[in-house]
Structure 1
């Protein structure tokens, strides 16, 4: 039996026209439902609508507004409802379309009775008015005032401020992400995800700033339509339909108030949703849980509420029962929360005491041999007694884990593994003080405040928030230790927020970068060579000790690392050493030759985000001045620049780099190969972060952007 071929969907569609089942599936998935809905609203603006269809559409409007409110209430962060600005525009257009449709029915059929515009409008009007036109107008006016003056204006202002501060805070948050990435606290994927969230947050609040104007305009349009319906309907009823003034007022006021209410109530609900959404920034978790948890977290506050409610209830003329019930409820919550808070505090204290005891017992060892006192720790962190909890799990991340991530990040960046960091307590330090030691010598010191946050302004300005104002220990920037409860406000202001452990890790990172050359010992160089492939080990054996010693290789690597050049590509470096050492024993000359071999790496490491390498070139007069100031030969060659010339050069460098910095550039100083080492040794004294490269180190594929000359 021959197989029957399956029908080709494309051929079927071509032969039989449009595939309605596929279209229905797309509608059910929402692919075209939104477009159909918007087209239906546009048709509603032009064609008359039957009263039954109007009732159904009004029910949809009310239901959608409640759905939007519940969604805004239960989401955990605003970006989970990033489509809200579009939803806001569509619901506004829907209400305006329904207003026009109901206005058409009210003005054309209002003389027939209060059911002329459908049962929904009639029910709203009759229920609110209770047979009294004045009551209906007053209730409607109050709803309009609440929506227009209070909620709409407030949410619009919040959206405006949130958009401005979110945009202003983007550079600081971006710097925080880059700092965490460079410190090894987050991966590249996590950094990319955070940047995407940051961009989405900025776009969302910018869109909310504009979308809030729809809410305000909708309230104004609803008020004007209500006035038109009431005045125009009464004129039509009396002048054209022959109704007496009282009957016209009763009929058209019922229809108008009902139409206004069925429009303003969804508008009010949407306005509340907008206010909740824009005011939710910085609140962790769902809004209902966050609000209830924070309001009931303080037993003292609940106790005072209970006392105040009871005192108000016993005042003469006050109904006692409502206030008594409120007092009893608040008192019960205060009692339960007090027990919970005390139990948690006791458990935390006991756990901390046990951990401290375990640390103390583990450090108690037998007397060690005297020879052990000769050993030194290459890297050591000493903690005051108050900082010992950092060793344990703090907010899900141990200090040891963060340091391990830092060492891994530095190994990937610089090409060798830094020594392990020993963490000990030091009772001679202050309670909240720490010290960083490199080869037993203190390299840095600072203070931390556990259970607080360190905030800094990315622009370097003082912090205008309550707290302990200090200098950030790594870069000396103005900073402030704030309470955890002020995190939301600090984030809203665009400040960089750093956890206590991250402050210590950042300080350690900079100290390691500054002293990394000293940590590259002879033993570490031997480890690096041992990990090479057989072919490259053979190269090392060929050039040592005939051309250069192992100590000479160590010195070359140290000089590269001192200028923060990665030695991860060790085979290329060794090949450069072999080439240069065949003709010279001058370590400076060998280093310059190796740097030229690493031209591609150097250009890639120093290029800007747009892929361009910004450079400031040494002016010809300074090139000549440095060449004329070199004295001696070989390893004894030195720079002997006159003091006046030295002063002028420092001023010229500072002016040129400050000008480039104001333009948003971090340039490389470009010199001739002959004077590059001497320029670098001079520049690093007052600008240690500045990279100095020679023309030989510019790879042919690099795209240069000359910002000017140092003249």
Structure 2
């Protein structure tokens, strides 16, 4: 019951807060249209001064401009309040002013008598000076600063967004922090744009104050002389005094708001408020010593007010001495005062935490420089997005950092601290790739450059200067820039080693996402019959053989069926074999595996083993008794060599193919051929869909005397 009451009170409080602003806006309209009692007018004047003081204090205590992001709107409503009070006070001055200074309210009378001593001539000059300070100095300067800041903030917005993306890709920011940074950048742009417009409110308000004063003086003189038969001097004394008092009442809060606006737009971001920032920067004793010396010399000159200057010089000298003493104490402080901070070692000092990393030499730093657009970081972001879409799970952040031990133009790609590849790139040059389309007979003058090998595909290539780009394209080269070279190399290595990036957290994320659409399937998959660890191991095995996890629902159904078959075969008390479950999953998703190799309307090129060799492998596996490499080294080398010879023609045509064998020999053959064919899948006959056409391009014979290869169905395209 108490909780219900407190929630209702909170809801009522929120509703009341939401209703204050509309009610206040209606009151402003009432002030402008309807006659207002003098007492209400006095309350409005005091409220206006109070609001101006509060706005000024909030502006001075803001650490950065965005801490007072509502200031443009507050400035608008404060200006409207002041103008509404001016309209109401003008009505009172013109209607009731003939009765004396007290007729317009106590606030206007106090400003007319106390601040300017009851002399309207003095009041006019005081008002004029305040107007000059507000309009010419503060408002004009703040408006100019707002205009320039808004323009530069808008121009710098794309660079700031790219810097945030670069930090996100480098692992320096989490996605939540990056989202907050982007929101801050957008809010900053909106704020300074609004401040540029809000400064016009202040300027217009100052001009309106002058016009209202002139109207009050002229209107009051006319009414006093014509309607109330007052003498010219008496009318001037009465109405001019009231008009000047009314103008000063409005001008004081206007001046405070102008100061607040100027303080906000000229504020530099700092962890301290304005007073703390100024105090810390004025606490340098070296700055006060010359001040003390100059004041002392001035105080000793003849004719100078010695009793004023010398005490002030003594105060500045005392302040300088205290600052020097404080600085010396901080320097002489023993280091044992902060032993925990100096000797503490955090986990972040020991571990990097980034799974993916790229180390670069200092010559490649321009590729990640925000001032130059960080082209490498942009490409890495696109590659992460593309790989995540293709593989079916989120690729972790890539941390790029410089390594002084590397050569200037060298880079190194790592996964979990293990180097997968390294090469060199020249940031100002282009890489011209010989992709097989060059005709040496048609090239009168070959393109000159630094010869090298493409780090991704091993093609012959040249590093050329940008001015030779057109020449290289005409000659038949494929030309790419340095960020593309590194990013393509990174993409290739990550795709080959995607299993190293998949862990239990990624598996749990896949299960959580699947649970939203298929909760019963997830419940039937884990924790029984498969644990999270087993699901992770199965997914890693599939990724190791380039099987994506995009259709995780179908994979999960296959895991449930394969686990049930394995449990029925091995018994309820035996631990299921993950290798057998993986093979069972592969049999059920064969169409997914094959469709990634060739289009649906084209036959799948395959290389198979002869019957004798299949039998020989099966016998070796059976005799090996579960050994990881049951095949003799000599036989294994002959198999690899024969498959290489059989695959050479189809690889020359850049066609994708698969190696097909029996289910018993598939895993063993995969281990044999993986070093030579890292991107070629090894399938079993059971994994081929029944409706998929197959083109046998080569058969590796099993005669031990000479591991001959037969190519019964393969014909090289004459074109």
TM-score range, shorter chain: 0.5 to 0.7
Residues 307 and 327, structure 1, Cα contact 8 Å, conserved in 2: no
Q: Give the secondary structure class of the aligned counterpart of 1:30.
A: helix
**Displacement of 1:72 after TM fit?**
1.4
Counterparts in 2 of 1:579 and 1:128: CA distance versus 1, 3 Å:
closer
2:220 to 233, 250, 253: 233
Write the mapping of 1:80-159 to structure 2, written as runs, cut at 5 A.
80-159=67-146
Residues 305 and 330, structure 1, Cα contact 8 Å, conserved in 2: no
Q: Is 1:637–2:623 an aligned residue pair? A: no
Cα-to-partner distance string for 1:332-360 (whole Å, 9 max, x where unaligned): 3541453266458989999999999xxxx
Q: Give the secondary structure class of the aligned counterpart of 1:115.
A: helix
Residues 69 and 191, structure 2, Cα contact 8 Å, conserved in 1: yes
Write the mapping of 1:496-645 to structure 2, written as runs, cut at 5 A.
513=487, 515-516=489-490, 576=593, 580=597, 583-584=604-605, 633-637=649-653
| Matching residue of 1:564 | none
Segment of structure 1 superposing worse, 63-72 or 329-338? 329-338
Counterparts in 2 of 1:266 and 1:634: CA distance versus 1, 3 Å:
same
**Displacement of 1:381 after TM fit?**
6.5
1:318 to 288, 304, 313: 304
Write the mapping of 1:691-702 to structure 2, written as runs, cut at 5 A.
none
Write the mapping of 1:83-482 to structure 2, written as runs, cut at 5 A.
83-296=70-283, 298-319=284-305, 320-332=309-321, 334-336=323-325, 338-339=327-328, 342=331, 443=424
Residues 89 and 214, structure 1, Cα contact 8 Å, conserved in 2: yes
Counterparts in 2 of 1:64 and 1:518: CA distance versus 1, 3 Å:
closer
| Matching residue of 1:661 | none
Counterparts in 2 of 1:291 and 1:28: CA distance versus 1, 3 Å:
farther
C-alpha separation in 2, matches of 1:262 and 1:278? 26
Write the mapping of 1:2-21 to structure 2, written as runs, cut at 5 A.
none
C-alpha separation in 1, matches of 2:159 and 2:242? 55
C-alpha separation in 1, matches of 2:396 and 2:534? 12
C-alpha separation in 1, matches of 2:319 and 2:425? 51
**Displacement of 1:196 after TM fit?**
1.9
1:78 to 51, 65, 76: 65
**Displacement of 1:527 after TM fit?**
9.9
Cα-to-partner distance string for 1:581-608 (whole Å, 9 max, x where unaligned): 9943589xxxxxxxxxxxxxxxxxxxxx
Counterparts in 2 of 1:253 and 1:534: CA distance versus 1, 3 Å:
closer
Residues 112 and 118, structure 2, Cα contact 8 Å, conserved in 1: no
**Displacement of 1:107 after TM fit?**
1.7
Write the mapping of 1:46-85 to structure 2, written as runs, cut at 5 A.
46-85=33-72
Counterparts in 2 of 1:417 and 1:137: CA distance versus 1, 3 Å:
closer
Residues 499 and 541, structure 2, Cα contact 8 Å, conserved in 1: no
Residues 106 and 117, structure 1, Cα contact 8 Å, conserved in 2: yes
Residues 128 and 139, structure 1, Cα contact 8 Å, conserved in 2: no
The alignment of Structure 1 onto Structure 2 pairs a total of residues equal to 448
Counterparts in 2 of 1:131 and 1:522: CA distance versus 1, 3 Å:
closer
Q: Give the secondary structure class of the aligned counterpart of 2:203.
A: helix
C-alpha separation in 1, matches of 2:403 and 2:534? 32
Measured on the aligned residues, the alpha-carbon RMSD in Å equals: 5.3
Residues 170 and 397, structure 2, Cα contact 8 Å, conserved in 1: no
**Displacement of 1:270 after TM fit?**
0.9
Residues 360 and 410, structure 2, Cα contact 8 Å, conserved in 1: yes
Counterparts in 2 of 1:575 and 1:102: CA distance versus 1, 3 Å:
closer
TM-score by length of 2: 0.52
| Matching residue of 2:708 | none
Counterparts in 2 of 1:292 and 1:256: CA distance versus 1, 3 Å:
same
**Displacement of 1:237 after TM fit?**
2.3
Larger radius of gyration: 2
Counterparts in 2 of 1:277 and 1:317: CA distance versus 1, 3 Å:
same
Q: Give the secondary structure class of the aligned counterpart of 1:116.
A: helix
Residues 110 and 255, structure 1, Cα contact 8 Å, conserved in 2: yes
C-alpha separation in 2, matches of 1:212 and 1:524? 56
Residues 437 and 444, structure 1, Cα contact 8 Å, conserved in 2: no
What 5-or-longer segments of structure 1 have no aligned partner? 1-8, 10-20, 357-361, 363-377, 385-407, 447-475, 477-507, 541-549, 558-569, 588-631, 640-711
C-alpha separation in 2, matches of 1:185 and 1:410? 21
C-alpha separation in 2, matches of 1:86 and 1:420? 42
Residues 151 and 271, structure 1, Cα contact 8 Å, conserved in 2: yes
Counterparts in 2 of 1:511 and 1:100: CA distance versus 1, 3 Å:
same
What 5-or-longer segments of structure 2 have no aligned partner? 351-355, 363-383, 414-418, 428-464, 466-481, 504-532, 549-584, 609-647, 656-719
Residues 425 and 486, structure 2, Cα contact 8 Å, conserved in 1: no
Q: Give the secondary structure class of the aligned counterpart of 1:584.
A: strand
